A = this chain, B = another copy of it.
Amino acid sequence: MNDRIEFRFSGSGGQGLILAGIILADAAAIYEDKNAVQTQSYGPEARGGSSKSEVIVSDSPIEYPKATKVDYMVALTQESFNKYIDDVKETGIVIADKELVTDFSKARGKLYVIDMVKSAREELGKVLGLNIIALGVLVEISGIVSHESIKNALIKRVPSGFEDYNKKAIEIGFKLGKEIKNNN
Q: Which residues of A contact B (CB under 8 A)?
A: 13, 18, 22, 25-26, 29-30, 33-44, 46-47, 61-62, 64-66, 159
Structural contact, B61 and A46, CB atoms closer than 8 A: no
Structural contact, A65 and B43, CB atoms closer than 8 A: no
Q: Contacts of A26 on B, CB cut-off 8 Å?
A: 46
Structural contact, A18 and B29, CB atoms closer than 8 A: no
How many identical subunits does the complex contain? Answer: 2
Q: State whether A43 and B66 are in contact (beta carbons under 8 Å apart), knowing that A18-B22, A22-B18, A159-B159 are contacts in the complex.
A: no
The distance from the CB of A171 to the nearest CB of chain B, in whole angstroms, is 24
Structural contact, A47 and B65, CB atoms closer than 8 A: no
Q: Contacts of A29 on B, CB cut-off 8 Å?
A: 42-44, 46
Structural contact, A40 and B42, CB atoms closer than 8 A: no
Q: State whether A65 and B44 are in contact (beta carbons under 8 Å apart), knowing that A18-B22, A22-B18, A159-B159 are contacts in the complex.
A: no
Q: Contacts of A36 on B, CB cut-off 8 Å?
A: 41-43
Structural contact, A44 and B40, CB atoms closer than 8 A: no
Q: In the bound complex, how far is the Cα of B61 from the Cα of A65, in angstroms?
A: 15
The distance from the CB of A17 to the nearest CB of chain B, in whole angstroms, is 11
Structural contact, A41 and B30, CB atoms closer than 8 A: no
A13, A35, A38, A41: residue with the most chain B Cβ atoms closer than 10 Å: A41
A21, closest chain B residue (CB): B40
Identify 29 residue pairs between A and B in the complex whose beta-carbon atoms are under 8 Å apart, listed by A's number. A13-B30, A18-B22, A22-B40, A25-B40, A25-B42, A26-B46, A29-B43, A29-B44, A29-B46, A30-B42, A30-B47, A33-B44, A35-B43, A35-B44, A36-B41, A36-B43, A37-B39, A37-B40, A37-B41, A38-B39, A38-B41, A39-B39, A39-B65, A41-B62, A41-B65, A64-B64, A65-B65, A65-B66, A159-B159
